[in-house]
Amino acid sequence: MNESVEHLDMTDPALLDAHRAGDPDAFGVLFKRHRDRLWAVALRTTGNPEDAGDALQEAMISAFKRADSYRGDALVTTWLHRIVVNASLDRLRRNKVRAAQPLPDDLEEYTGRGAVLATDTSGDPEAVALLGDRRRAVLAALDQLPPEQKAALVLVDMEGYPVAQVAQMLDCPTGTIKSRCARGRARLATLLTPVLGTGSPPSPSNPRPSTQPTLGTPEGGAPR
């Protein structure tokens, strides 16, 4: 791939236009610019690196060939995410016959350890290990959700995208995204009760609409 300085300075829409005009390097620069985050979405949506890699590859091929389908009414990243999420969901649905991944056997142990959230684990090997265990538990619970709820939570709560942008990615109204997120969180709260250490899970009828302020901006800033 011949990435020139000129390419690196180009905006996403300019790169996509260049690709459509026949520039052989433009799409590569564009995709490389976002592929880490696209990978993250694919990995969390599919739940395993093999499917995530395949989904990302399918999405890249689709985006390369269907660049003309981008109308400019959304961000290029939104368009790319939409393709990746769709590819991931397709793969997820195809794999639905697969046995559901069980929750960790030692989930009950988290109850005794208390709800340790967002803890600074630097210099504390035990805390690091605990955080790792908790992540695995969260991911296992996430895999129990229906694909649409899972995708909404991955994009909103994990990746920190605004609900409106996720609505564009998933091609549905913002209200639907909010609803999916609320139902998904309620379900996760039930599944992760031992981890949360709380007595009662939140009610789906009264979810918090958005958690954006606590997750950072979607424009590259790492979620908090």
Residues making contact with another protein (CB under 8 A): 1, 22, 24-25, 27-28, 31, 35-36, 39-40, 43-44, 49, 52-53, 56-57, 60-61, 64-65, 115, 117-118, 131, 134-135, 138-139, 142, 153-154, 157-160, 182, 185, 188-189, 192, 195-196, 198, 200-203, 206-208, 211, 214-215, 222-224
Q: Which is nearer to another protein, 25 or 90 (CB)?
A: 25
Q: How far is the CB of 203 from another protein (least distance, A)?
A: 5
Minimum CB–partner distance for residue 97 and another protein (Å): 25
Q: Which of residues 168 and 184 has its CB atom nearest to another protein in the complex?
A: 184
* Closest distance to another protein from the beta carbon of 56 (Å): 7
Of 66 and 73, CB closest to another protein: 66
The DSSP line for 36-62 is HHHHHHHHHHHSSHHHHHHHHHHHHHH
Long-range contacts of 184-193 (CB under 8 A, 24+ apart): 184/145, 184/149, 184/150, 184/152, 184/153, 185/153, 185/157, 187/144, 187/145, 187/149, 188/138, 188/141, 188/142, 188/145, 188/153, 191/103, 191/141, 191/144, 192/137, 192/138, 192/141, 193/111
Q: In the 8-state DSSP scheme, what is residue 122?
A: T
